[in-house]
A and B are shown apart, each in its own frame.
Chain A
Amino acid sequence: MQDNGYLDMFFDEAKEYVETLNNGILTLENNPGDKETIDAVFRAAHSLKGMAATMGFQNLTELTHKMENMLDRVRDGKLEVTTEFIDLLLQGLDNIQFLVEKIKENEGEEPEGINLEGFIQELANYGQQAAAVSESDAQNSSEKTAEEFSLNLTQVEKKELAKIKKDKERIYHLQVVLDEQDFQSVRAFMVLKKIEEVAKLFKSIPAKDKIEESEEPVSELDIYALSWLPAGEFKEELAEISGAEITNFTEIESLEMEEENKGDDSKSLHAEHKVNSFQSSSTVRVDISKLDTLMNMVGELLINKTRLQSLDIQKSKFNEIIPQLDRVTMELHHIVMQIRMVPVGVMFSRFPRMIRDLSNKMNKEIDFVMEGQETELDRSIIDELSDPLTHLLRNAIDHGIEKPEERKAKGKDEEGRIELKAYQKGSEIIIEVSDDGAGIDSDIIGRKAVEKGIVGEEELDQLERREILDFVFHPGFSTAAEVTDVSGRGVGMDIVRNVVKKLDGQISIDSELGKGSTFTISLPLTLAITQALMITVDGDTFAIPLNAVSETLTISPENIKKVRGKDVIVLRENTIPLVSASEIFGNKNLDSFKKSDSDLSVVILKSGDRYIGLIVEELLNQQEIVIKSLGNYLQDTEYISGATIIGDGDVALIIDVRDIVA
């Protein structure tokens, strides 16, 4: 079992590097000569290797090392980027992912009995002709070992060293020789990492980032470090690393004593060997649960601010403070939201590879286009959304896009097109998955729905095309003539809809037979805080999220018409069905309102492109609410999606608009 903090960091970073590798390799396939991409891919492989080595994952280290070598040869122009090369790299990437998964399952240890030697050998053999050259390189650098062991510090560095040295700290100067050819730079990296664990690394020659970037193997390290440990223990710590031997070791007792003859070249030395320690980064990794807590605190603050506002104190000081408090809380909220936002590209990046593999497997030609990767969404939404999108894309390949011959026969381009788009629309984020494939036949869907007893035959005639298409989201509905291992057995689409619903979003489908289908997912920008319209029903206060409110109006009971047995109102030539809020909460039905003399307050709700009029008792105000869950115990309550705390500390329930409009 390894230290969990490091392990989590390893998994986090490994995931990022794998993504970088994935994107890079695919970009490389299209632009084989792109120097920047090669560099980026090389760096990712290299960093991954370094991490794997530090954590002691042997297979992973070797695998990434061999991939890195291949890439290095491309950089040097010794290898060409061919399809074979790309395939090999992608296979390597799969193996990396496989290993990382296994390590995760195995609680931080590389499981035994995984044999990747054959594959690693394959990587090593690929383009072997270049090997001879790198060997001679290594020899050149090992000549430097002969240099004598002297204090290689400039005046400036000595001063700095003296300044940061704490009272009981010792300054060690040591030389480490790395004896194995193959993993020298990895081992050098491990040595420095180890030193950073037990000491402060002041300076190393070559510097740590130089080792990372360098293509040449490092055979020797000259290190200056500050540590609390006595010399013996310090050396023991380093002895754990195999293949690295301490050849010289001194404790520097006094810095001034050795301040001779180094004066003139101090500046250039300093510039060349960058002081390694105490670099600070401008980004911080934060556990998402901490952000959740922060968000909750901001929510609490907001609730209390609203309570203060409702106090209605007529003092000039008070009236001065409130707008300021308002501004600060808003800003705070905004920043926390901002921190939680992640570009959807993070999630999208895995899809090109998936499409490539699937289309090859199914012999389909697909042009996959992504747009709006920079669109940002709350982290928690992104995490949930990846599976539904994967499912939709798989469906598009499996059921949507036709085989090339078929497309040709229909007069379409042989290459099908799948688009994945993300964009912001008002306070919502829209994600669209569309294909120019076969489309969905609503007649077939309708027939199936009748067959499966989802809908009656007479009922079906009443339904609009769109409502019929919606049956694909019904549990247990599948139209695929045969079940393939690519898209599921009809358990998929309803799960997709459930996930989207859980995120407070909606999914709709549009399809034209022969032309293709588009699935549109709309999601709220944020899950936690939203603007709401406050209303009352039978004396209780409720909140309706403002993004679901189209407008509010007052009607007189005579305005209510009957169409096909349903109560409706006609608004700007649109017929909008009416529902009594009191009735859905178990009280007064619509007829009792029709008999009343007084005017009725109606909130026009919209969900997707459907509208419904909700008769409420009273329209109150518009305010910002913090959405809180009702908890698992009441989670499935019909027509209620959550709760919020209002001015006086009371709880107001949030109306689930989708339940009403659906």
Chain B
Amino acid sequence: METAQERLDLDKAKNQNNKKSGQAQYVVFNIGEEEYGIEIEYTREIIKSAQITNVPNTEEHVVGVINLRGIIVPVVDLHSRFEIDQDSGDFEEDEQRTITVEVNEMLLGIQVDHIEGIVWLEEDSITPAPDVESNLRQDYLRGVCARDEDHLLILLDLEKTLFT
């Protein structure tokens, strides 16, 4: 029932989304220790991680496919993409979720270690990602947002993250 509840919240949040100007909603989650956010428009639902079938001969970040009510959905794991250790972060295994997103008209699942929630962010509070030298991750970022002191939320550019 938890999945249904979370899906409902997503829908409700989306309905409210265009009510405030200069603000947008983000789904916030953890991969390893760090906190990431994606725009709520991309998201479809949040599900408990299902049985994944491995697909050979695919890129490293593709972990396989799941059966989502009869639809085959590819699932990606961003640990390898972001060069994050699989075991880093302080989360239990049953906190793991898959966020299904629709990007470029494709339905994909993103495996995350923990769902933090949905937040409103002022567009003004989002700053370009700081230039960290020779960090591949730079391309994948839309910007960062300081939520409170020494708490940085990393906003992802999903299209670049998934398709480059």
Contact = CB atoms under 8 A, between A and B. Distances in A.
Interface stretch (A274-282, A516-524, A629-637): A629-637
Interface string B41-73: 000000000010111111000101111001111
B106 interface: yes
Contacts of A660: none
B108 interface: yes
A632 B105 CA distance: 9
A656 to B, nearest CB: 10
A631 B73 contact: yes
Contacts of A137: none
A311 B58 CA distance: 33
A357 interface: no
A300 B57 contact: no
A652 interface: yes
B53 A643 contact: yes
Contacts of B108: 633
A651 to B, nearest CB: 4
Nearest to A626: B70
Nearest to B58: A637
B51 A585 contact: no
Contacts of B129: none
Interface string B4-20: 00000000000000000
A634 B58 contact: yes
Nearest to B68: A651
Contact of B53 (A300, A540, A585, A632): A540
Interface residues of A, number: 26
Contacts of B56: 584-586, 637, 639-640
A55 B116 CA distance: 58
B57 A650 contact: no
B72 A630 contact: yes
A364 B162 CA distance: 54
Contacts of B51: 649-651
B144 interface: no
B73 A638 contact: no
Contact of B65 (A296, A585, A586, A634): A634
Interface in B108-141: 108
* Max chain B C-beta neighbours (<10 A), residue from A584, A629, A634: A634
Nearest to B162: A633
Contact of B57 (A299, A540, A585, A643): A585
30 contacts: A584-B56, A584-B57, A585-B57, A586-B56, A586-B57, A628-B70, A628-B72, A630-B72, A630-B74, A631-B72, A631-B74, A632-B104, A632-B105, A633-B74, A634-B58, A634-B65, A634-B74, A637-B57, A638-B57, A639-B57, A640-B56, A643-B53, A645-B70, A645-B72, A649-B51, A651-B51, A652-B53, A653-B53, A653-B55, A653-B65
Given A631-B107, A634-B74, A653-B53, 6 more contacts: A540-B54, A628-B71, A634-B55, A639-B56, A643-B53, A653-B55
Which 10 A-B residue pairs are closest in the complex by CB-CB distance? Answer: A585-B56, A651-B53, A638-B57, A643-B72, A633-B74, A628-B72, A651-B67, A633-B106, A634-B74, A651-B65
Interface of A: 296, 299-300, 303, 540, 584-586, 628-634, 637-640, 643, 645, 649-653
